[in-house]
Amino acid sequence: MDMTKIPARQGVYNVESYEKVREGFDWNEIKKEFSWYETGKINAAYEAIDKHAKNPMMKDKTALIYSAPDREESITFEQLSKRSNQVANVLKKYNVAKGDRVFLFMPRSPEFYASFFAILKIGAIAGPLFEAFMEQAVRDRLEDSEATMLITTPGLLERVPVDELPALKQVVLVGDGEIDTERYIHFNKEVADASESFDIEWVDLEDGMLIHYTSGSTGKPKGVYHVHNAMIQHYATGKWVIDLKEDDVYWCTADPGWVTGTSYGIFAPWLNGVTNVIRGGRFTPESWYETLEKNKVTVWYTAPTALRKFVSAGEELVKQYDFSHLRHIMSVGEPLNPEVITWAQRVLNLRIHDTWWMTETGAMLIVNLPCMEVRPGSMGKPIPGIEAAIVDNEGNELPPNQMGNLAIRKGWPSMMRAIWNNPGKYESYFINGWYVSGDSAYMDEDGYFWFQGRLDDVINTSGERVGPFEVESKLIEHEAVGEAGVIGKPDPERGEIIKAFITLNPGYEATDELLEDIRLFVKKGLSAHAAPREIEITESIPKTRSGKIMRRLLKSWELGLPTGDTSTLEE
């Protein structure tokens, strides 16, 4: 492994000015950069879009470059402001009010972004859902959030059990063609007729803005609740870490159904008034390289899985494109292999800046800044205003180079404010004033943090978090499956793949067809990324005496590791 350190460069900050920012840092200083610091009236949609639309120097600047296989469009800040006003007027007409949950289930499109801001402009709470979710995944989230309105497309409607969701009063359909207007709200028609001006709902910094569902090791997905205050950190990290400057063309590859796609696919670039590239369609190295080249992308935020695919696609492919405008690449979601960093350095002559954070943290916490030396394999150091540490299970700080729980001192601007409907779960994240992440890591003598792994059973496959419980629950709904235990199995490209151990009910034979049928059953019920890539049939699933599946034991078996303490194993 090449562990050569990669030297620092000048960013928005150089090392000295950055150290000054860190010293005695106070988030209130950042707040002063916003107009509402004096008026007290805020709304993140105003700060991200309308403020620029009102500025004669900014209104005609391209906010969004949308590029999908079947559609290309450039939209200015003024246009995005007006379009979101139109949608907001439609929502208002249908009585959406402050605090209501309005969910979005549709592909990335200009309509998605206009609707997202419309929800915020009303003071309602947006719940974007990953477009690849299937019925069970959609149902769980709409049920738990008690969303009153869903904005979706006619094509995705069949995955929404509309009649079985008592709280869901209205469904808006985005698209052309026949729409049953007795039952559904016709987005295109209503929006076309709506006024382009709207009186925005001014809210409090602590008012709700967004819910992202994420998976833990037990139970259904949890609704991570964020408030408008989060924008302070989105804005600041956009400047410090992404290093955004006025003329940048920025591209974040994440889907807005995941937190990276909102915090850094929406807020960070637009709060900083930067041109934002949004790309729909499937991933191929060629089409993504094309997107970088064609739009002259200057800063790119993506994930290790994609970067590993570029490495596999080879150096010859790179030579066919011009990346001279690209300043640096950023990465999040899973461990970034040192080999990928050194590859990018050698082949692209670009630094990759790893960043660490979570759905619950709302924004970046541990990062590599341009003015920092990159130590391949390390996630970097905490941003100003963030105190990170390695703690033991009681919340006591551990010395450098000792492995433990990666923890953050409670109380940063973008921290989740609740787990929706689940105060007990929320409290369980905090020990002794620390937010405990569930990741294990250590810190070296120079304050760089090094990721080791998850401490719970949460699976990270291609940077997407999957809860084993959800997959197990789906598996046992299949008529042939008796019991199921699900683990993450290390994989060179995807980080981890999902492996399921199952027992078969009497009368079923272990054939390839049956295993494929079971796999498809999970894929059609939950989503493609949650479907097990490997299924193994066993005689029984190891459980504790109280009936908990011992996934750790399954994992040890799979990896041929010592099984450790099995004293709680059922007979």
Instruction: With contacts defined by CB under 6 A, name the span among 180-188, 354-362, 513-521, 550-558 that binds ligand PRX.
Output: 354-362
20 SS3 class: helix
Q: Is 288 in the site for ligand PRX (CB under 6 A)?
A: no
Among 100, 243, 334, 496, binds ligand PRX (CB under 6 A): 334
Selected binder of ligand PRX within 81, 136, 437, 462 (CB under 6 A): 437
The window from 55-63, 199-207, 433-441, 480-488 that contacts ligand PRX (CB under 6 A) reads 433-441
Q: Are 341 and 242 in contact (CB under 8 A)?
A: no
| 460 touches ligand PRX (CB under 6 A) | yes
In the complex, the smallest distance separating the C-beta of residue 331 from ligand PRX, rounded to whole angstroms, is 7
State the Rg of the chain over Cα.
Answer: 24
Q: Which stretch binds ligand PRX (CB under 6 A): 126-134, 242-250, 274-282, 333-341?
A: 333-341
- Output 79 or 262, the one with its CB closest to ligand PRX: 262
Q: Which stretch binds ligand PRX (CB under 6 A): 147-155, 353-361, 369-377, 396-404?
A: 353-361
Cβ-based neighbour number of residue 90 at 10 Å: 23
- CB of 170 closer than 8 Å to CB of 152: no
Selected from 208, 257, 265, 335, the binder of ligand PRX by CB under 6 A is 335
- Using the rule CB under 6 A, which residue among 165, 168, 259, 374 binds ligand PRX? 259
Q: Name the DSSP letter for residue 61.
A: S
From the list 152, 163, 146, the residue with the least C-alpha distance to 186 is 152
Give the type of residue at 346: R
Q: Residue 227 in 3-state DSSP?
A: strand
* 260 is a site residue for ligand PRX (CB under 6 A): yes
Residue 378 binds ligand PRX, judged by CB under 6 A:
no
Residue with smaller CB distance to ligand PRX, 359 or 473: 359
Q: Are 289 and 242 in contact (CB under 8 A)?
A: no
- What's the CA dihedral at 276, 278, 284, 289 to 10 degrees? -30
Of 40, 81, 83, nearest to 60 (Cα)?
Answer: 81
Q: Which is nearer to ligand PRX, 235 or 451 (CB)?
A: 451
Question: In Å, how far from its chain's centre is CA 161?
Answer: 25
Of 261 and 542, which has the nearer Cβ to ligand PRX? 261
Phi and psi (nearest 5°) for 277? -90, 130
Binding residue (CB under 6 A) for ligand PRX from 116, 356, 435, 449? 356
354 is an interface residue for ligand PRX by CB under 6 A? yes
254/224 Cα distance (integer angstroms): 18
Judged by CB, which is closer to ligand PRX: 37, or 283? 283
* Residue 333 touching ligand PRX (CB under 6 A): yes
Q: Taking each helix axis from N to C terminus, what angle separates 135-145 and 512-525, rounded to the nearest 10 degrees?
A: 30
Helix (H) or strand (E) run with residue 192 in it: helix 187-193
Three-state DSSP at 527 gives coil
**Residue 379 binds ligand PRX (CB under 6 A):** yes
CB 496 within 8 A of CB 489: yes
Q: Which stretch binds ligand PRX (CB under 6 A): 154-162, 318-326, 348-356, 555-563?
A: 348-356
Shorter beta-carbon distance to ligand PRX: residue 194 or 364 = 364
Residue from 248, 439, 470, 496 touching ligand PRX (CB under 6 A): that is: 439
Q: Which residues pair with 440 in a beta bridge?
A: 405, 453
Q: Which residue, 465 or 519, is less far from ligand PRX as judged by CB?
A: 465
Give the pair of three-digit tokens for residue 497: 């793949």
Residue 463 Cβ vs ligand PRX, minimum distance, rounded to whole Å: 7
Q: Which two tokens stand for residue 412?
A: 């940063």
CB-CB neighbours of 37 under 10 Å? 12
Residue whose CB is less far from ligand PRX, 123 or 223: 223
Tell me how far, at minimum, the Cβ of 515 lies from ligand PRX, in Å: 28
Q: Could you tell me which stretch among 245-253, 328-336, 512-520, 535-543 binds ligand PRX (CB under 6 A)?
A: 328-336
461 touches ligand PRX (CB under 6 A): no
- Closest approach of ligand PRX to the CB of residue 358, in Å: 4
| CA–CA separation, 52 and 33 (whole Å) | 14
Rounded-to-integer distance, Cα 239 and Cα 237, Å: 5
Q: Is 332 in the site for ligand PRX (CB under 6 A)?
A: yes
CB atoms within 10 A of CB 309: 16
- Would you count residue 465 as binding ligand PRX (CB under 6 A)? yes
| DSSP 3-state percent helix, strand, coil across the chain (nearest 5) | 30, 25, 45
Of 259 and 553, the one with the shorter C-beta distance to ligand PRX is: 259
3-class secondary-structure state, position 239? helix
Residue nearer to ligand PRX on the CB measure, 161 or 438? 438
Q: Are 518 and 491 in contact (CB under 8 A)?
A: no
To ligand PRX, the closest distance from the beta carbon of 256 in angstroms equals 13
24 SS3 class: coil
Cβ of residue 335: shortest distance to ligand PRX, in angstroms?
A: 4
By C-beta, is 410 or 454 nearer to ligand PRX?
454
**DSSP of 344-381:** IIIII---EEEEE--TTT-S--EE--TTS-B-TT--BE
Task: For residue 385, give the nearest of 416, 417, 415, 412 by alpha carbon.
Answer: 412
Q: Is 454 in the site for ligand PRX (CB under 6 A)?
A: yes
- The yes or no reply on residue 340 touching ligand PRX (CB under 6 A) is no
Contact 225, 420 (CB under 8 A): yes
Cβ-based nearer residue to ligand PRX, 76 or 302: 302
Q: Which residue has the tokens 């046992």?
A: 476
Taking contact as CB under 6 A, which single stretch among the options 33-41, 81-89, 276-284, 434-442 is the one that binds ligand PRX?
434-442
Which of 110/488 has CB closer to ligand PRX?
488
Q: How many residues does the chain have?
A: 571
Q: Does 383 bind ligand PRX (CB under 6 A)?
A: no
Binding site for ligand PRX (CB under 6 A): 214, 259-260, 332-336, 354-359, 379, 437-439, 451, 454, 460, 465
